[in-house]
Amino acid sequence: MNLTKLSTNNPAGTLVALLLIAIFGVLAIGKLPIQLLPDIQRPQISVFNNWRSAAPQEMESNIIEPQENVLRQVPGVVEMTSNISQGFGGITLTFEVGSDMQAGMINVINALNQTPPRPLDANEPFINVGGGNGAPNLASLLIRMAPDNPATDFAQYQKLIDDVVEPRLRLISGVGSVRLQSRLPKELHIEFDPYRAAALGITLDQLRSTLSRAADISGGTANVGRRQYTVRFIGQYTPENLGNLIVTYNEGRPIYLNELADVEVSSADVQGFTKRNGYPAYYMTVEGTFDANTVKVLDGVNEAIAELNQGPLKEAGLVLDLSFDASVHIKRAIWLVKGNLAIGVVLALVILYAFLRSFRATLMIASTIPVALLIAFFFLEMMGRTLNVISLAGLAFAVGLVLDAAIIVQENIVRILQQGTPIREAIAKGTDQVKGALLASTATTVAIFLPILFMPGVEGQLFSDLALTLSVAVVSSFISAITLIPVFSLLWLKLSPQDDGQQSGRLWRWISATVQRLTGDTKRAVFWCVTLILGAAMLTAVLMPRPDFLPQARSDGIFAFFALPPGANVKTLEKEVGDVIIERLKPYYDKEKQPYIKGYNFSMYSAFNVLFIYPEDPSQADAMIELLNKEILVGLPDTQAFTNRGSLLQFGFNGGRAINIDLQGADMEALMETAGKGMGLIQEALPGAVVRPIPGLSMAQPELQLIPNERRLAQAGVDRIQIANAIRAYTSGLFVGEYFDGNERMDVLLKGPKWQVPEQLSATPVYTQAAGIQTIGELATLKRTVGPTQLQRVNGKRSVSLLIFPPADMSLDEALEKLNQSAVPTLRASLPENSSLGYRGSADKLDSTIKDMGANFALAVVILFLLMAAMFKSAKDSLLVLLSMPLAICGGVVSLRLLNLFSFQSLDLLTMIGFIILLGLVVNNAILLVDQTRQSYRETPDIDLAIAQAVATRARPVYMSTLTSIFGMLPLMLVPGVGSEIYRGLAAVIVGGMTFSALFTLILMPSLLRLTHRLSPVTNRLADEPALSSTTGVKS
């Protein structure tokens, strides 16, 4: 099908098709979910376990380790990490990229069903797809007291939050879950007097058994006459009348529960605190589904907040604030890319007009931009992708590229028209002459993206959107060039045959003559070939930056983690650490001192503690970090802070640039000692790096161990479990069962009186059947010692990790080299016996990523060579085109070096992909020159004249298309802002490579063509082979 003839014969039909494209493209834009980035996380499944008040060691031995034993058999798991603290244990399973997570979830559930029974008061494990932090955290919300509300305890508002706030937020489309992080569940406390119980001869087991048996029991059904009755034994008491429960009889007198215990409904003990801008707050997070439109979800959240604040929360004296809004970063980053795209369009059109000097001609060529972009939007929506920084950056890159084909076609039509050819014949002939070269350049550009589309790992996930948008845009621009441009030329191109462009033609003939003088003989051709190709290769080797994994992509937020004093309780931490930090932050939040703070959140819990700060002016984020490190977070009692900038990349708090060094072994104290030495070694090797140990480096959590006295236990007629239950009851409470009133379910806890010193615990009595009243101290020996606050396990082994954030101006590769040269050998030598050291995280992925990128680069070159060899029907011509690549690569490297003079830019994997993309772009100019030379040589078998005609004919469209591409992408390289670090290196590589290609291709390609012709046999293949435009099997 001849598309050009079909479109020019039916202009109305072509314009209708254009209108349909516009309609469907606009509809697709409205349907596309808006995200910051594509999903770049490796698939993860997390298992969360809660066991009230359990020590880390018991949580590890009774729950985590048995689960690890079965979970390691789950297919596709590549890494398993566990974090354990007081009452909590979480396991994160990381899977191979591309794993079926639905099957993975089923496998995890089946594996957990094989674990041994859990303790009675350990909750069912909660399984979550998406990693340790769950699904994407779209927003953090904080409920605070209104200014006129004097209350400080949120427990009284828990029912309001459960019944009103949480359901309202869950109604928002795109919300996956709402997590009430500060929730304190209700508990039924039975606080008994152990002295009274012992005096009455009541054992703890007897009391527990009586309470647990006070329950409703179904008796079944009974048929009585014509009716069927449900039979129930009503044995459950309510909290109000539970005191009337008879525990036992003493000398014939009933002993009621209220004689030795008080019954009350209370909240669970507070395990930490959260404050918003210095005031107590209730913390909750909103997590989205993985296909959620983040911006729309957050718009819905803001509507819900306004509704709640004007309604039920206002009546209760509460205020709901949106603390973290993911859409803020997304909107800013998206608007920046959109702005860059618009600037790029304007710059490209200015360059275009400078060449054409005609508004009509400029607008005809410019029409291919919206067509290509709208088709790209349609394909993104059709393939289930999102509108994100990467896909928009791809469209911004495409602005200059989509003009290339239109420029070539119109320039050729105008050139033939200026020779006096009738308009229809000029359109048909002009399009037909360049369609082969355009098809070749389009095919090579699209083919170069094939390795990107099939890349595994993070790089494949991150850049498949870029490859898709660029491929669709370039293909649609080719179709537009051979359909829309001929139609527009037929309708609106009013060029007089006498207007032969003498002034501009003089310039290009001068350029052709200059190229002829510079490359006119064999010696000069050899000189330019050697100088440009080998010189470019040598310059590339010298200036090539060090590789990195991911760009920093720093956000406005600052976070700080803390190594807290071991054993400090919540009140102590709040008074001696929390209140001090808040007081120091106050003048900056009140705008009395700079840098000003827009807002901050502060949370401290046993398993997690963090301070988030949002500067008023994002440009002062580094000054704020310096202030935190030197003034605000120093001098705290036994507390160490670790501060860093947040990252837009979805890699938790690490941002994809952190190095994990895992020390594994059985002796935790020795590992912690070694890790402490390692922190000093690492900071010497990497000045300015942030090194954070996980878990803390001290086994200093105060611990009371009660060691059973076997002889006394036997004499008293009790076993270990009975005494262990008594100790639990006298400390955090002994789990009895659950109470459910039809609406709420709560744990029933049997609790003794609170004690202040360990000696009080030792003196607490218990009644035994064989020895009467005994004290805890008589049946067990109390020992003071220390233990761990937290434990970490990696792939089934206890581990101490050093999480290293290299300095902002140092690549990951350079940091690893320095570590391996100085710190790591010394650290490895100081390890205890039967211990090991290994890398994890970004450091572990860097080597494999570089190898994958190298393989993909080589594959791209092979694809290009074979594709062009098939189209040219000449391996020699294909090789000639490929020899233009060293110049482009050198230009990309030089551009990166120049960029580093103003802002640090490493060779991260996003920038590496720029070199692959560059290969498909720079060959286009070489293809045009080789193709035109072949056409001219067939007409005039004089290589010098053929080259001169090719340069004179193609120099103008080559420079026009190259300059529009460069200026179209230039804003992505130069304009700073949130998210610009993600694509800035990529843009620099393409702009630099295309600039070098524009400067030197007109020297290199004529030199190569002239040299290879004179080295070939007298009967040269160029004379025998048809031109590329007449060998293609595709009609235009």
- pLDDT of 270: 80
Tell me which residue of 987, 797, 942, 958 sits closest to 884, measured CA to CA. Answer: 958
What is the distance, to the nearest Å, from the Cα of residue 69 to the centroid of all Cα atoms in its chain? 29
- Over its C-alpha atoms, the chain yields an Rg (Å, rounded) of 37
C-alpha distances in Å from residue 1006, one per residue of 488, 522, 714: 34, 11, 101
| Structure tokens that stand for 689 in this block | 């790096």
Our CA dihedral for 704, 709, 714, 718, rounded to 10 degrees, sits at -10
Residues 6 or more apart whose CB falls under 8 angstroms from that of 294 comprise: 33, 34, 35, 36, 136, 138, 174, 288, 326, 327, 330
- pLDDT of 505: 62
pLDDT digits (tens, 9 = 90+) for 296-320: 888 888 899 999 999 899 888 999 9
Matching residue, tokens 């293909």: 475
Residues 6 or more apart whose CB falls under 8 angstroms from that of 628 comprise: 558, 560, 613, 641, 643
| Structure tokens that stand for 441 in this block | 């350049």
For 291, other C-beta atoms within 10 Å of its C-beta total: 12
How far the first Cα of the chain sits from its last, in Å, is 8
C-alpha distances in Å from residue 772, one per residue of 716, 723, 735, 750, 775: 8, 14, 25, 21, 10
For 20, the enclosing helix (H) or strand (E) is: helix 11-31
Residue at 774: amino acid letter: Q
Helix and strand numbers (H, E) in the chain are: 39, 30
Strands 186-192 and 745-751: parallel
- pLDDT of 1015: 63
CB 836 within 8 A of CB 664: yes
CB 154 within 8 A of CB 282: yes
- pLDDT of 1032: 41
**Can you name the residues that pair with 558 across neighbouring β-strands?**
613, 645
Residues in the chain: 1036
What is the distance, to the nearest Å, from the Cα of residue 323 to the centroid of all Cα atoms in its chain? 20
Domain boundaries, the chain: 3-31+358-549+848-1031, 42-130, 203-259+701-787
How far is Cα 696 from Cα 787, in angstroms, rounded to an integer? 12
With a cut of 50, list the residues of the chain below it in pLDDT.
132-135, 496-502, 651-652, 1018-1025, 1027, 1029-1036
Phi, psi at residue 951, to the nearest 5°?
-65, -45
pLDDT digits (tens, 9 = 90+) for 243-289: 889 988 888 889 999 989 999 988 888 888 888 888 888 888 887 77
Burial classification of residue 833, based on how many CB atoms lie within 10 Å of its CB (0-12 exposed, 13-18 middle, 19 or more buried)? exposed
How far is Cα 682 from Cα 803, in angstroms, rounded to an integer? 11
**Can you name the residues that pair with 805 across neighbouring β-strands?**
690
How far is Cα 744 from Cα 1022, in angstroms, rounded to an integer? 87
Q: What is the pTM of this model?
A: 0.77
How far is Cα 29 from Cα 405, in angstroms, rounded to an integer? 25
Phi, psi at residue 633, to the nearest 5°?
-105, 25
Strands 659-664 and 836-841: antiparallel
Q: Please check whether the domain covering 42-130 is classified as CATH 3.30.70.1430.
A: yes
Class of CATH domain 203-259+701-787 = alpha beta
CB 799 within 8 A of CB 68: no
Tell me which residue of 1001, 1005, 869 sits closest to 922, measured CA to CA. Answer: 1001
How far is Cα 737 from Cα 108, in angstroms, rounded to an integer? 28
Burial classification of residue 571, based on how many CB atoms lie within 10 Å of its CB (0-12 exposed, 13-18 middle, 19 or more buried)? exposed
In terms of DSSP H, where are the helices of 266-388? 294-310, 312-316, 326-356, 359-366, 368-382
The DSSP result for 408-451, as a single string, is HHHHHHHHHHTTT--HHHHHHHHHHHHHHHHHHHHHHHHHTTHH
How far is Cα 828 from Cα 258, in angstroms, rounded to an integer? 62
* Same fold: 3-31+358-549+848-1031 with 203-259+701-787: no
Residues 6 or more apart whose CB falls under 8 angstroms from that of 343 comprise: 971, 975
How far is Cα 427 from Cα 405, in angstroms, rounded to an integer? 14
| Structure tokens that stand for 905 in this block | 């830019």
- pLDDT of 138: 73
Tell me which residue of 136, 137, 155 sits closest to 145, measured CA to CA. Answer: 155
For 911, other C-beta atoms within 10 Å of its C-beta total: 24
Q: May I ask the CATH architecture of the domain 3-31+358-549+848-1031? A: Up-down Bundle (1.20)
What is the distance, to the nearest Å, from the Cα of residue 410 to the centroid of all Cα atoms in its chain? 44
Q: At what angle do helices 909-939 and 389-417 cross, to 10 degrees?
A: 10
Task: 1024-1027: list long-range contacts, CB under 8 Å, 24+ apart.
Answer: 1025/872, 1025/873, 1025/874, 1025/934, 1026/938, 1027/436, 1027/931, 1027/934, 1027/935, 1027/938
